[in-house]
């Protein structure tokens, strides 16, 4: 019987019923769940042994890692809508507007305001609409738009050309292109039962999630700073959440 890893509710109706529950609530599946059945375990080693013994490993096309990682907690999702719903419910964060809220009522009112009813900032590549220009920039900079012929480096170069006085971009004497990392099975830490980032020691239940984390802006050179004189915080990407 499939189980929710957040509230531990069980779903006799099966996997699809649990998926609907998780999408509606922002809950997650158990961390070490079998690719093929409803069993889950206390460590990656245990679930790997189970799947090897019973030949429960999914085909590569069925076990692709989720492609959308939450910046706040590291949970990964299969599509952008699931990630955005999670950010709203678990972190009170509106990604299109790049805003945090104090409580669920505040963000609910915001999402039903004219800002979101009249989203007019259109992505020129995938035609997704955003409430603000900041939301569109983050959509492109984070790699969420799979149709955009852009990456973090190209966006930075474009910003630098249009920001000669360094209002938001840093004048870097030693700027180099974004470094690409790839972790392997050697990143598995048996003491914590997870794959470990060797740069910040953050644990991940899946290798693909670790690699997505490694290649996100978080471990890249800080290219920007907040233009506010009260902040001036150095930033990995063009957003300041303070």
The model's confidence at residue 142, banded by pLDDT at 50, 70 and 90, is low
- Which residue in 44, 48, 46 sits closest to 57, CA to CA? 48
CA distance 222 to 236: 4
Asked whether residue 226 is assigned to any structural domain, the reply reads no
Could you tell me which residues come within 8 angstroms of residue 159 by beta carbon, excluding any fewer than 6 positions away? 168, 169, 224, 238
Write the pLDDT tens digit of every residue in 109-134. 888 887 676 556 788 888 877 766 67
Do 50 and 34 contact (CB within 8 A), yes or no?
yes
Average pLDDT, the chain: 74
Instruction: Taking residues 77-105, report their average pLDDT.
Output: 82
In a domain, 40, yes or no: no
Question: Is the Cβ–Cβ distance between 87 and 95 less than 8 Å?
Answer: yes
Note whether residue 105 is domain-resident: yes
In a domain, 238, yes or no: no
Parent domain of 109: 73-150
pLDDT at 161: 76
Decide: helix, strand or coil at residue 154.
helix
- Encode pLDDT of 177-231 as tens digits: 556 678 888 888 888 778 888 777 888 777 877 877 776 766 666 665 565 556 6
- Mean pLDDT of the region 68-75: 71
Is 180 among the domain residues?
A: no
Query: Does 116 reside within a domain?
Result: yes
pTM over 0.75: no
Residue 189 lies in a domain: no
What is the number of structural domains in the chain?
Answer: 1
64, pLDDT greater than 50: no
The answer to the question of residue 62 being in a domain is: no
What pLDDT is recorded for position 166? 66
Return the bridge partners of 169, or none: 224
Q: Angle at Cα 74 formed by Cα 186 and Cα 95, nearest 5°?
A: 145
């Amino acid at each position: 019987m499939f189980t929710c890893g957040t509230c531990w509710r069980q779903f006799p109706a099966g996997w699809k019923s649990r998926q609907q529950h998780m999408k509606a609530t922002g809950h997650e599946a158990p961390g070490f769940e079998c690719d093929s059945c409803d069993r889950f375990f206390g460590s990656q080693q245990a679930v790997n042994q189970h799947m090897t013994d019973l030949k429960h490993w999914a085909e590569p096309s069925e076990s692709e890692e989720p492609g959308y990682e939450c910046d706040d907690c590291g949970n990964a999702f299969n599509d952008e809508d699931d990630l955005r719903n999670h950010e709203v419910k678990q972190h009170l964060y509106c990604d299109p507007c790049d805003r945090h809220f104090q409580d669920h009522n505040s963000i609910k009112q915001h999402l039903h305001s004219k800002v979101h009813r009249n989203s007019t900032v259109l992505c020129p590549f995938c035609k997704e609409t955003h409430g603000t220009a900041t939301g569109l920039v983050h959509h492109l900079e984070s790699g969420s738009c799979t149709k955009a012929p852009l990456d973090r480096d190209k966006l930075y170069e474009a910003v630098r050309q249009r920001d000669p006085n360094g209002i938001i971009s840093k004048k870097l004497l030693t700027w180099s292109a974004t470094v690409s990392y790839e972790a392997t099975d050697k990143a598995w830490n048996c003491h914590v039962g997870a794959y470990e980032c060797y740069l910040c020691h953050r644990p991940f239940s899946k290798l693909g999630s670790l690699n997505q984390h490694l290649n996100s802006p978080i471990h890249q050179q800080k290219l920007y700073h907040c233009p506010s004189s009260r902040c001036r915080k150095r930033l990995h990407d063009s957003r300041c959440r303070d």
